Structure 1
Amino acid sequence: MTEQGVGRVLVIGAGLGGLTLAHALVRAGLDVHVYEADDGSGERFQGHRIGLAEPGLAALRASLPQRLHELVEATSGGLTGPGLLFDEQLTELSRDLDGPQEGSRAVDRQVLRRILRGGLGDRVTHGKRLRGFAEGADGTVTARFADGTEATGAVLVGADGGNSVVRRHLVPEVGLVDSDLCGVMGRTTITDRFLRLVPGRGTMVKGPGITLMLGRMQFDREPSAAAAELVPGLDMPYRDSYVRWVLLVPPEHPAATDPGSAREDARELVLELIEGWHPDLRDLVRSADMSGVGRSKIYDRPMPPWPVGRVTLLGDAAHLTLASGGNGANTAMQDAVRLSARLAEAHRGERDLLSALGAYQGDMLERGNAAVRFGKEALKRFVPPRPQETR
């Protein structure tokens, strides 16, 4: 047995992983505070519909208060029905594409983030961009922010995404791995016409050298109405159900190395690349909600072990996965509940803190790096092999 009690846990980043960790720690009786670089006035472009399989769903069940978990369930959507493969003229090629695990649910990333954030109150502070940190001889770690303020705790967790400031300071030799791809993503409000493109768990459209992926985000209940009933006072804007579409820009296209920023340019790029495709597909892209269109380079990164200390990582900050694996959020949320469990053991005096953090790191790296490998393998379904890869 060791001395009981773990001091405050500092979480850097209010994404899905960091917020799930905060809920899990609160539930375990630990002190936690989350610091987020965004000012809280808007929503980051981070994608739309994601599929939560059992690891992610189990993490939410284990972490959230009942009323918030009920709201997650109410605002999720089904992931059942056929996985369709079409050519660019919507000729059906298959109805048996691999899809989500049985029991998976579709959630909107921003809706889920609002639910998680709304349940933490003043445990989250916005406008705190991390500049660096230092471990003290007294067994503390201090985070230093760009606005000149500091925060001190017993543990600091980097949950600040693929471009993690925590990781860059903790393991500076580990960088992003460029996939040589650029992705364009958008969402288009569901109509009967567009819903026919995605009647089941997902649709893949294969054109000459290009793949367009479609996913349906059909809320069981409209999120603002569900929130008003189940969690009065939670800030939740009105949301239409939508079709999420993603196109991977071919590596040889100039846009693959120049991600750009203008939403209109991103949409026009997709329309250029699917010139001559079926009108329903072109109109789907043309009718996009422009606030939800984005274009970005695609990276991943496995993670080697690092010396165990009072600073650790979770989710994309540690093991950045390609979206083709569909497991980034699930893995991050699983990291969160595993880390919470180890910290709770230390808090109860069942093991010392560094032993708990070491056990978490070993488990997290094994699962996380497996998720990175899975994403690389899954990418082959969407991107034709390059000439050098066929030798």
Structure 2
Amino acid sequence: MTEPEVQPLLEPREGIPPVIEDPAALEAVVRAFAGGTGPVAVDAERASGYRYSGRAYLVQLRRTGAGSALIDPIGCPDLSGLDHVLEDAEIVLHAATQDLPCLSELGFRPRRLFDTELAGRLLGYERVGLGTMVEVVLGLRLEKGHSAADWSTRPLPEAWLRYAALDVEVLIELRDALHAELDSTGKLDWALEEFASIVAAPGHPPRSDPWRRTSGIHRVRTLRGLAVVRELWALRDEIARTSDLAPGRVLPDSAIVQAALDQPRTTKALTEIAPFTGRSARRHLRDWLGAVNRARGLAESELPQPVGQGDGPPPANRWADRDPAAARRLAAVRTVVAALADAHRMPIENLLQPDAVRRLAWEPPADLSEEAIAERLRGLGARQWQITLTAHPMAKSLERLEIKGEV
């Protein structure tokens, strides 16, 4: 069987729109989009890997009757006027959770959402990147060569602007096709519940001890070494914030971890760790060494302590030794979720969050009835459609273990 020909999408249908860089031009866009109809396609470009913050450096929109718009948030940092006229519109995003924080910083906060990436996951598409989805669903090929560019660059090259405009060019058509497929497969209500949950989700609070997320920190086995990681991470963060650079461009995580392992005592020893010889890192050699020395001079009581388990269950690979009954419960409910995910053609993590599965198995309700399981899942953040699908078979599976005396 011959596969249908894929058509390259090379130019926006109305050409590359001008970049909106001042409030007067933005006001004209607000009026145009207020007069448009139907869903609004939205995308944002950041400078991840280049700049310190996750702010947007370009916002793209498209709506029937309004065409496309490219807005420069440096010149137009307040999109609350646009947000106001679109408050009743459905906003179409791809991978919404990536763009919503930087859009919120600009005063743009969707009330209704359609996430084309999440729709693809619920429909069982194996690859859900925007380019792949557009190609598979619409038969069009998007050029994705500038997705990792430094969008803080000014002026933005024409090729980048073309790429940005094309990202919203067919997003509404993609939304319409996926909406129809969700409807025909009986998954539309599930998707709408998921989208509403994203909109309603509170913002993430600042992480506690963010330095503990340093890549490779598991190699550091001593409290003194952890102190070195903490000091170097804090110094790097300060330099990165002041310079508006991505932390990894100041000093990579690998250098922090190696310094924690070696704990060098001189700048010469420090430069024997290769990443410290980079142009950016060399500017601060004395500061890096000072951070290592501060960690070395801390009293025992000042050293960071190992992370406790918190309120969650221990790692699942320890359950068989710590609580064999819980391990059997986990195996049983995981089997249920995997079978349901397979039957409904979607990733297991979208059918039910893995953390909810683990917590239910570790600490189930005393009553293993369907109603009690449903209530426990609801308390763990499961959506109603997930509870409807999983509570009954989970209860039956756990009840069978109870009858056998294995729980």
Task: Identify the structure with the greater helix proportion.
Answer: 2
Larger radius of gyration: 2
Task: Identify the structure with the greater strand proportion.
Answer: 1
Q: Shorter-chain-normalised TM-score: which range? A: under 0.3
TM-score (ref. length: structure 2): 0.23
